[in-house]
């Protein structure tokens, strides 16, 4: 019984010693296997094929993954072995004095085998759970098990290979020379990677890939922590100092010495416009300008300057783009680009504003930026059908193919890996910054997204749209060519031939929504980031998009600090922080709230004109305009395994799922679901304001049998297969729509044959194809001067969806 107590005590002691390698193993297993975003990166490794790469760095990422995988296992073993083989001075003195009890056989075996077994178990678990998306032999899984076996073999025969003296059970009081050299080399390589990812993040991070970066970071942290924070103090008879980095990080953060995420330190923040008046027009004035110019003016005679209003009854589209990282960004850009491609550009001409949240903001900004530069061909006989582009195809965008269908161009941009660049900053320079008592803005991990977007856009399209200020997308009307404005219309406003971008963020401290828009919106329910304070109109487009997508811990909150020349804070002079910006989805995730505030402001303008007599028919005009407004909701929903949407149509009658472990889970689940419910409430409020029901709107959610099986994760990196199955949503859901309609018709026919009343099969499931066709039919036909006659245009538009070449989803 006494031996049992000694053995158990030693086991607990060894676990405390090996806290870094044990934590390293747990973190990797949980992140890569338990987190959908981490598992998505493993899919890319598992789906690798020697030929037909979808990414120029695919081979290097696979090689780096297995190299990092082996290095991670060896680091965990090596650190644990050194810590358990070390004999502290106090232990040595006790042993030399003959007062130390003889070690049990269990302790001797535990000290040898525990460092060997637990890293191999962690490696084996990842290898066992390695996904197999190749639809061939599970090559990645075989290689992972082979790598594990090689590491195990090295551990077993290393003493023979290196001609080491002594026995595995021997202990040492001083680190052997060979181990010192190994540790020096490992730490030097870690710092080389640290500074490489600081100065060439995009290139290095994408070359290695996110999972390899995780392995390298965990290996570096394990070796540094185990040797510097545990081994060295014990060798001097000091207690472990594992707590020291934590205390230092908290102390520096408390004094605000290491906070490098300040948005107010960015270039373009605090830059005032040269004109004393507000550069941005009120949204009501911009709406009037857009109404007068949103249709192409046409006159029967070149001398006739009277513009015939052919679109008096045309719909006015507003788009609410839901958040969800790259998944929603890709889907939003794809849906908008597809609608514009299928309608020969008619759809975008009738979109007044797009409100984006998180990844939806990226998709919306991508679409508007493509429109601003005239990229993306409309469907016609001379334009080839959209096909899923590969890496080689996308590489030619900058030298040509400006007339490629817009969905192909947005895939080339949003389909790129921006997770690796973010992880590269987060686990290396930004993590190092946490323990430094100074601020270095170049180590800010939020640069991982912004710099990648800027470089990718420039590389693909040859301009610096994402690097230039957001407001450069919307120059004053006077800066546009004269042909862009209709004769006799107002000239005050900003560019009106592209939709307005409303990119939403949230103040973390107050929980209030924050609007970023090229127009001013009068509302007391949200803050305007571009007003006189904060003066953020000069921020780059990439930074403005990121403000809408700052979802800690991956993307840090952007802090805004008051100071000269900004107005002082109210109250105590020590309170200088205005607030920190986080993901717009923290307030509501649909994008409907901003559209509602915008419409309320526009309506108030019409009402004011009616009261003052400036527009006698203003109230009637607004009622007619309101009836024309149609909302397009682009959601991030994915059908569940049964092929059904999980969202309930009427929340009042919805049943919630049971909450197990309610003592622990009820508070966080309640907070999260309240956020989701607020998004639904905002959508309802927007439709109520328009006197419409949900059936009057268009709801575009990704769909199809492939999406159901693949389930793309909400991630800043999507595998080529995930993007392919999303690309196939319209064709897959078209098949489902036809099957549902055929089944309903057969049931009705059978009922008629039996002389029974027609059965009511219930509302048909609104597939992505059905909703897109509904949207295309609502878009007015082309004008008489265009190639296609109005009568045939709508049918051709819907049939255009069938021209999309189905992407092979085997990889």
Between vectors from CA 289 to CA 284 and to CA 291, what angle results, nearest 5°?
95
Q: Is it true that the peptide bond before 18 is cis, omega within 30 degrees of 0?
A: no
Residue pair 703/736 in contact by the 8 Å Cβ criterion: yes
Spell out the residues 6+ positions from residue 205 whose beta carbon is closer than 8 angstroms to its own: 197, 213, 420, 421, 423, 424, 425, 448
Query: What pLDDT does residue 277 have?
Result: 45
Confidence tier at 689 by pLDDT (50, 70, 90): very high
Q: Is it true that the peptide bond before 565 is cis, omega within 30 degrees of 0?
A: yes
Query: What pLDDT does residue 393 have?
Result: 82
- Token representation of residue 364: 């919306």
Confidence tier at 65 by pLDDT (50, 70, 90): very high
Residue-wise pLDDT tens digits, 492-534: 788 888 999 999 999 988 889 999 999 999 999 999 998 877 7
- Window from 138-152, 248-262, 535-549 with minimum mean pLDDT: 248-262
Query: What pLDDT does residue 770 have?
Result: 85
Q: How far apart are CA 772 and CA 766, in angstroms?
A: 10
489 or 709: whose pLDDT is higher?
709
Query: What pLDDT does residue 311 have?
Result: 59
Average pLDDT over every residue of 355-373: 94
Q: How far apart are CA 194 and CA 429, in angstroms?
A: 6
pLDDT at 743 over 70: no
Average pLDDT over every residue of 435-440: 85
Query: What pLDDT does residue 180 have?
Result: 78
Q: How far apart are CA 196 and CA 432, in angstroms?
A: 13
Query: What pLDDT does residue 713 have?
Result: 83
Closest CA to 712 of 324, 274, 319, 201: 324
Query: What pLDDT does residue 165 have?
Result: 66
Average pLDDT over every residue of 152-168: 74
- Token representation of residue 625: 């305009």
Q: What is the dihedral of CA 478, 482, 483, 488, to 10 degrees?
A: 80
SS3 state at 270: coil
Residue-wise pLDDT tens digits, 313-338: 789 999 999 988 889 999 999 999 99
Q: How far apart are CA 617 and CA 613, in angstroms?
A: 9
Spell out the residues 6+ positions from residue 18 whose beta carbon is closer than 8 angstroms to its own: 79, 80, 83, 84, 114, 115, 226
Closest CA to 669 of 659, 679, 654, 677: 659
Residue-wise pLDDT tens digits, 576-591: 678 889 988 889 888 9
Q: How far apart are CA 287 and CA 331, in angstroms?
A: 27
pLDDT at 133 over 70: no
Q: How far apart are CA 591 and CA 600, in angstroms?
A: 15
pLDDT at 786 over 50: no
Spell out the residues 6+ positions from residue 547 whose beta carbon is closer than 8 angstroms to its own: 263, 503, 505, 514, 516, 529, 539, 558, 581
Average pLDDT over every residue of 53-60: 71
Q: How many alpha carbons fall within 13 Å on the CB side of residue 131?
A: 21
Spell out the residues 6+ positions from residue 125 whose beta carbon is closer than 8 angstroms to its own: 29, 33
Burial (CB < 10 A; 0-12, 13-18, 19+), residue 488, is exposed
Block residue for tokens 């890709």: 330
Block residue for tokens 């009922």: 751
Confidence tier at 368 by pLDDT (50, 70, 90): very high
Query: What pLDDT does residue 410 have?
Result: 92
Query: What pLDDT does residue 643 have?
Result: 43
- Token representation of residue 46: 């598992």
Q: How far apart are CA 455 and CA 204, in angstroms?
A: 14
Burial (CB < 10 A; 0-12, 13-18, 19+), residue 203, is middle
Query: What pLDDT does residue 761 have?
Result: 39
Proportion of the chain above pLDDT 70, given as a percent: 75
Residue pair 457/466 in contact by the 8 Å Cβ criterion: yes
pLDDT at 4 over 70: yes
Spell out the residues 6+ positions from residue 536 whose beta carbon is closer than 8 angstroms to its own: 263, 268, 269, 270, 516, 529, 530, 544, 560
Closest CA to 724 of 644, 804, 640, 800: 804
List C-alpha distances in Å: 27 to 34, 172, 434.
10, 30, 19
Query: What pLDDT does residue 573 have?
Result: 44
Q: How far apart are CA 24 and CA 115, in angstroms?
A: 13
Closest CA to 466 of 447, 445, 479, 450: 450
708 or 95: whose pLDDT is higher?
708
Residue-wise pLDDT tens digits, 170-222: 666 677 777 778 888 888 888 888 888 888 888 899 999 999 999 999 999 99
Q: How many alpha carbons fall within 13 Å on the CB side of residue 43?
A: 22
Residue-wise pLDDT tens digits, 417-426: 899 999 999 9
pLDDT at 490 over 60: no
Average pLDDT over every residue of 366-371: 95
Q: Which residues pair with 353 in a beta bridge?
A: 318, 500
Positive or negative, the CA dihedral 322, 705, 141, 137 is: negative
Confidence tier at 665 by pLDDT (50, 70, 90): low
Query: What pLDDT does residue 672 have?
Result: 63
Burial (CB < 10 A; 0-12, 13-18, 19+), residue 634, is buried
Q: How far apart are CA 49 and CA 51, in angstroms?
A: 5
Spell out the residues 6+ positions from residue 30 whose beta carbon is closer than 8 angstroms to its own: none
- Token representation of residue 616: 């006698």
Spell out the residues 6+ positions from residue 408 whose beta carbon is closer than 8 angstroms to its own: 386, 387, 388, 389, 393
Average pLDDT over every residue of 103-128: 90
- Token representation of residue 414: 């949003």
pTM, rounded to two decimals: 0.87
Confidence tier at 594 by pLDDT (50, 70, 90): very high
Neighbours of 243 (CB within 10 A): 10
Q: What is the dihedral of CA 17, 22, 24, 26, to 10 degrees?
A: -150
Average pLDDT over every residue of 429-437: 88
Residue pair 783/296 in contact by the 8 Å Cβ criterion: yes
Positive or negative, the CA dihedral 29, 30, 33, 38 is: negative
Closest CA to 791 of 799, 800, 781: 781
Residue pair 801/722 in contact by the 8 Å Cβ criterion: no
Closest CA to 175 of 243, 100, 95, 235: 235
Closest CA to 319 of 349, 352, 361, 354: 354
Q: How far apart are CA 419 and CA 715, in angstroms?
A: 8
Closest CA to 421 of 262, 196, 719: 196
Residue-wise pLDDT tens digits, 444-475: 888 889 999 999 999 999 889 999 999 999 98
Q: How far apart are CA 484 and CA 242, in angstroms?
A: 65
Q: How far apart are CA 691 and CA 697, in angstroms?
A: 11
Residue-wise pLDDT tens digits, 528-571: 998 877 778 889 999 999 999 998 788 888 888 876 444 544 44
Average pLDDT of the residues of the chain? 79
761 or 756: whose pLDDT is higher?
756
Q: How far apart are CA 659 and CA 665, in angstroms?
A: 7
């Amino acid at each position: 019984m006494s031996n049992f107590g000694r053995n158990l005590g030693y086991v607990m002691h060894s676990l405390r010693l090996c806290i870094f390698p044990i934590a390293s193993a747990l973190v990797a297993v949980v992140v890569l296997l338990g987190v959908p975003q981490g598992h998505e990166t493993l899919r890319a490794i598992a789906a690798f094929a020697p030929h037909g790469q979808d990414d120029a760095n695919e081979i290097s990422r696979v090689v780096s993954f297995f190299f990092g995988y082996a290095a991670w296992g060896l680091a965990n073993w090596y650190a644990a072995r050194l810590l358990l083989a070390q004999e502290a001075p106090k232990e040595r003195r006790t042993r030399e004095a003959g007062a130390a009890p003889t070690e049990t056989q269990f302790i001797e075996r535990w000290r040898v085998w525990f460092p060997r077994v637990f890293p191999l178990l962690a490696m084996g678990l990842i290898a066992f759970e390695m996904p197999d998306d190749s639809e061939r032999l599970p090559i990645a899984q075989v290689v992972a098990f082979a790598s594990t076996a090689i590491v195990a073999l090295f551990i077993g025969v290393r003493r023979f290979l290196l001609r080491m003296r002594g026995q595995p059970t021997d202990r040492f009081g001083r680190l052997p020379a060979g181990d010192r050299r190994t540790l020096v080399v490992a730490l030097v390589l870690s710092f080389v990677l640290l500074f490489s990812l600081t100065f060439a993040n995009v290139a290095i991070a994408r070359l290695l890939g996110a999972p390899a970066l995780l392995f390298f970071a965990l290996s570096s942290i394990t070796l540094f922590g185990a040797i510097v924070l545990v081994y060295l103090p014990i060798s001097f008879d000091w207690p472990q100092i594992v707590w020291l980095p934590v205390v230092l990080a908290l102390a520096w953060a408390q004094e605000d010495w290491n906070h490098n995420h300040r948005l107010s330190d960015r270039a373009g923040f605090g830059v005032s416009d040269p004109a004393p008046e507000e550069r941005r027009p009120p949204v009501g004035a911009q709406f009037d300008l857009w109404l007068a110019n949103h249709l192409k003016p046409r006159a029967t005679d070149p001398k006739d300057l009277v513009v015939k209003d052919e679109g008096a009854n045309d719909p006015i589209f507003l788009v609410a783009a839901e958040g969800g990282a790259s998944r929603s960004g890709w889907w939003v850009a794809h849906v908008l680009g597809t609608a514009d491609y299928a309608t020969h550009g008619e759809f975008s001409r009738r979109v007044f504003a797009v409100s984006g949240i998180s990844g939806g903001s990226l998709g919306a900004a991508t679409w508007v930026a493509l429109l601003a530069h005239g990229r993306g061909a409309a469907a016609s006989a001379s334009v080839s059908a959209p096909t899923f582009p590969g890496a080689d195809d996308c590489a030619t965008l900058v030298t040509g193919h400006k007339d490629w269908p817009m969905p192909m161009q947005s895939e080339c941009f949003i389909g790129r890996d921006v997770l690796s660049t973010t992880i590269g900053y987060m686990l290396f320079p930004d993590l190092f910054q946490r323990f430094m008592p100074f601020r270095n803005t170049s180590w800010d991990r939020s640069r991982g997204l912004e710099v990648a977007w800027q470089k990718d856009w420039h590389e693909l399209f040859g301009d610096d749209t994402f690097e230039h200020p957001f407001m450069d997308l919307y120059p004053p009307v006077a800066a546009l060519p004269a042909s862009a404005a209709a004769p006799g219309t107002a000239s005050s406003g900003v560019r009106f031939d592209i939709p307005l971008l409303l990119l939403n963020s949230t103040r973390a401290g107050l929980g209030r929504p924050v609007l970023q828009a090229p127009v001013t919106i009068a509302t007391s329910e949200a803050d305007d980031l571009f007003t006189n304070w904060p003066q953020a109109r000069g921020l780059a487009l990439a930074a403005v998009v990121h403000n809408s997508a700052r979802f800690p811990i991956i993307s840090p909150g952007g802090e805004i600090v008051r100071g000269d020349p900004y107005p002082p804070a109210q109250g105590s002079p020590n309170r200088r922080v205005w607030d920190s910006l986080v993901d717009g989805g923290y307030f509501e995730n649909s994008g409907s709230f901003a559209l509602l505030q915008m419409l309320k402001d526009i309506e108030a303008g019409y009402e004011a004109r009616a009261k003052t007599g400036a527009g006698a028919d203003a109230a009637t005009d607004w009622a007619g305009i309101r009836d024309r407004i149609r909302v397009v909701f682009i959601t991030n929903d994915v059908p569940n395994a049964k092929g059904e949407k999980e969202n309930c149509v009427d929340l009042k009658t919805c049943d919630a799922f049971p909450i197990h472990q309610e003592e622990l889970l009820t508070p966080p689940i309640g907070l999260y679901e309240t956020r989701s419910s607020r998004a639904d409430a905002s959508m309802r409020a927007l439709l109520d304001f328009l006197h419409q029901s949900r059936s009057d709107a268009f709801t575009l959610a990704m769909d199809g049998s492939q999406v159901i099986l693949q389930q793309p994760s909400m991630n800043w990196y999507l595998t080529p297969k995930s993007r392919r199955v999303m690309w196939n949503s319209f064709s897959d859901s078209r098949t489902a729509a036809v099957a549902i309609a055929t089944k309903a018709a057969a049931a009705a026919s059978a009922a008629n044959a039996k002389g029974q009343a027609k059965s009511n099969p219930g509302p048909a499931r609104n597939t992505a194809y059905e909703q897109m066709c509904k949207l295309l039919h609502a878009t007015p036909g082309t004008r008489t001067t265009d190639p296609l006659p109005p009568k045939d245009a709508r049918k051709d538009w819907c049939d255009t969806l069938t021209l999309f070449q189905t992407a092979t989803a085997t990889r």
